[in-house]
Each structure stands twice: as C-alpha cells, then as structure tokens.
C-alpha cells in the first residue's frame, strides 16, 4: 500500500467554536478509524492546520470531502508526500487546541509570534506538527 501524508492550512468559519470542533473530531475519529487514516488537527479560532496520513486513495478521497466543508475556507495545500511510516500512528485524529500551541514553538517554526500556518513553509508546518504530536 502506498502511504502518503497531506498537510493543509485553512481559515476557520465564523460560526465555528470549540464545540463545533469537538463535533468535527467525533466524526473524524469514527471515519478515520474505519479507513485507517491517522493525523493531527491544530485549531486556534482563526486557523486550522491538519495532517492526514494513510493510503493514497483514502487520503485523497477524504481531502476532497474536507475541501467541500463549509466550516472552513481558503484551504491551502502545504505539503503532500509519500511516506515510509506514519508520524501519528497512535491517533485516528489527534488534537492540539489553541491553548497548547506554545508561542516558543510557533516562533521557532514560523519566525512569527502568532500561529498563522499560511505563512509557514510545508517543511516548517510538518516540523511543528511532528513536534506537537510528540508531546
Ligand atoms: P455529511 O456529514 O453528509 O455532510 C454534508 C455536507 O455538510 C458536507 O459538505 C459536510 O462537510 C457538511 N457538514 C457536515 N456537518 C456539518 C456541520 N455540523 N456544520 C456545517 N456543515 C457540515 N472528516 C473526517 O472523516 N476525517 C477528518 O480527518 C476530518 N477532518 C476535518 C478537518 C476540518 C478542519 C474540517 C472542517 C472537517 C473535517 N472533517 C473530517 C469533516 C469532513 O469535512 C466531512 O464533514 C465529513 O467527512 C462528513 O462528510 P460527508 O460527505 O459524509 O458529509
């Protein structure tokens, strides 16, 4: 099976709060577990940053669904790669809420004080996600 990793950034829609994100996570974990997709989702009220890992076909299929979702917009693909092994194999969808996005990590990976994944390179977005996933 060809394994891939896909990382994107998006802008959170106005109506989306922590409760809405909890619902997204519930749906995501059920679906991802069924289709052997793993990953990590970061949320800070303005932006999402998400990594999806799994078979190429399934990750692409899920990404098409996520693109249609009105709970976010301006979806920007930051990184797409074939991988040998998963980074987030313990999570059907791990979650990093805004309170856990430490300023120092953001500074180190983006050179900015505020979390804004649109200003990150694919490599720095992957680096930040990998570090958050290892905490
Ligand atoms: P249905 O549940 O039938 O919904 C139909 C449409 O309405 C879709 O466009 C759907 O996106 C939208 N929708 C569904 N619920 C709501 C709601 N409460 N409010 C507004 N619109 C809604 N899904 C996963 O399975 N795995 C993931 O890892 C994953 N990550 C996501 C990350 C983000 C940032 C977002 C915003 C969504 C994510 N989703 C994920 C949800 C995904 O976009 C789909 O909603 C989900 O897969 C169900 O798709 P469906 O085609 O069955 O839609």
Q: pLDDT per residue over 74-115, tens digit each?
A: 999 999 999 999 999 999 999 999 888 888 888 888 888 889
Q: Which of 105, 122, 4, 135 is nearest to 59 (CA)?
A: 4
* Alpha carbon distance 19, 17 (integer Å): 5
Nearest ligand 1 atom to the CA of 52 is 28
If you take atom 35 of ligand 1, which residue's CA is the nearest one? 66
> Residue 133: what pLDDT?
85
Burial class from Cβ neighbours inside 10 Å (0-12, 13-18, 19+) for residue 130 reads middle
In the predicted model, is pLDDT for residue 126 greater than 90? yes
Whether residue 61 has its Cβ less than 6 Å from ligand 1: no
Is the pLDDT reported for residue 135 higher than 80?
Answer: no
Contact 66 CB / ligand 1 (< 6 Å): yes
| pTM (2 d.p.) | 0.94
- Using the CB atoms, write b or e for 49-87: b if 16+ within 10 Å: bbbbbbeeebbeebbeebeeeebbeebeebbbeeeeebb
Rounded to whole angstroms, the Cα distance separating 23 from 11 reads 17
């Amino acid at each position: 099976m060809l394994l891939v990793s896909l990382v994107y950034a998006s802008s959170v829609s106005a109506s989306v709060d922590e409760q809405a994100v909890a619902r997204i996570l519930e749906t995501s974990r059920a679906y991802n577990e069924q289709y052997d997709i793993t990953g990590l989702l970061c949320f800070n009220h303005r932006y999402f940053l998400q990594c999806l890992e799994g078979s190429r076909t399934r990750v692409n299929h899920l990404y098409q669904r996520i693109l249609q979702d009105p709970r976010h917009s301006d979806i920007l693909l930051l990184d797409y790669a074939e991988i040998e092994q998963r980074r987030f194999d313990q999570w059907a969808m791990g979650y990093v809420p805004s309170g856990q996005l430490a300023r120092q990590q953001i500074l180190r990976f983006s050179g900015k004080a505020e979390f804004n994944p649109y200003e990150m390179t694919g490599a720095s977005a992957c680096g930040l996600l990998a570090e958050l996933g290892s905490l």
